[in-house]
Amino acid sequence: MASRREGRGHLVVFEGPEGAGKSTQLVALSARLSAAGYDTLFTREPGGTPAGEAIRRVVLDPTLRVDPLPEFLLYSAARAQHVADVIAPALAAGRDVVCDRFTAASVAYQGYGRGLDLGFVAELNARVTGGLEADLTVLLDIDPVAGLARASGRAAHDRLEAAGLAFHRRVRSGFIAQAEADGGRRWVRIDADAAETAVTEAVWRAVSPLLAPGEVGR
Ligand SMILES: Nc1ncnc2c1ncn2[C@@H]1O[C@H](COP(=O)(O)OP(=O)(O)O)[C@@H](O)[C@H]1O
Ligand SMILES: [Mg+2]
């Protein structure tokens, strides 16, 4: 199959606190892109590969106690496999990739949230991705109280949701700090406390200009 564009595809990442609406918005975006003939690859972290999904079951199992450093190493192990097996090959073939969480989540959760050294988090992030960075990170921003209230409607509670409000406030501040440090070049912050359809429209405005429609090169 011919690639859709000459250069590498674009990597778009969705981030935000628990219950911000990432999964909801990714379903809506995926449906809209498929209907319009886009060949965008949707994937998620931790996971995205068989090994990554196995690691996901460990890191999100509330019955297992995992300290901050090994937790970060588990996420990083899943990410390294995901980049090598899925994300990098797709981008190299000219395909756009949309990923539910990526390196910024480790900065926010393991760095700001769990207190790991931010320089170390950044260094390991760069190692496991081979320096690959998102072309656009969509921050679905919401107060953790509102986000957790939404998320608590779910059947399963993972460790992150049980970890307490203070932790989730640090995580949110970690996402906002990254967006502000970027200065609006490769991050867009969307108010995720708005109605679902309003968020969907804001996501579309931010993301669609970056994605290549259809199978141009075929
Ligand atoms: N804009 C919204 N307004 C109200 N509820 C929402 C909105 N977006 C998502 N939800 C609901 O909030 C819950 C968490 O959404 P989800 O997409 O799973 O969040 P995330 O993947 O970011 O943790 C779900 O029950 C979903 O239906
Ligand atoms: Mg989700």
Residues 20, 30: Cα–Cα separation, whole Å: 17
For residue 61, is it left (φ>0), alpha (ψ between -120 and 50) or beta?
beta
Query: What does each C-alpha distance from 176 to 25, 179, 180 come to in angstroms?
Result: 19, 5, 6
Tens digits of residue pLDDT in 169-194: 999 999 999 999 999 999 999 999 99
Which residue's CA is the nearest one to ligand 1's atom 27?
24
Tens digits of residue pLDDT in 16-74: 998 999 999 999 999 999 999 999 999 999 998 999 999 999 999 989 999 999 999 99
> Does residue 117 sit within a domain?
yes
Query: What does each C-alpha distance from 211 to 2, 88, 168 come to in angstroms?
Result: 17, 16, 31
> Does residue 216 sit within a domain?
no
User: Which ligand gives the minimal distance to the CA of 200?
Assistant: 1
CATH number at residue 127: 3.40.50.300
- CA 214–ligand 2 middle distance (angstroms): 27
Positive or negative, the Cα torsion across 65, 87, 26, 13? positive
> Does residue 88 sit within a domain?
yes
| Neighbouring C-alpha atoms within 13 Å toward the C-beta of 37 | 6
Tokens for 139, please give them: 């921050």
- CA 23–ligand 2 middle distance (angstroms): 4
Which residue's CA is the nearest one to ligand 1's atom 10?
21
> Does residue 85 sit within a domain?
yes
If one counts the domains in the chain, the total is 1
By the 8 A CB rule, do 152 and 161 touch?
A: yes
Positive or negative, the Cα torsion across 22, 28, 31, 33? negative
> Does residue 215 sit within a domain?
no
Residues 172, 113: Cα–Cα separation, whole Å: 9
Tokens for 124, please give them: 């390991």
For 91, the domain range is: 11-210
Amino acid, res. 53: E
Gyration radius of the chain over CA positions:
17
Per-residue pLDDT, 158: 53
Per-residue pLDDT, 148: 85
Ligand 1 first shell, C-beta below 6 A: 16, 18-24, 150-151, 153, 195-196, 199
- CA 150–ligand 1 middle distance (angstroms): 6
> Does residue 83 sit within a domain?
yes
pTM of this prediction?
0.93
Best mutation site among 24, 101, 200 for ligand 1 pocket (most ligand atoms within 8 Å of CB)? 24
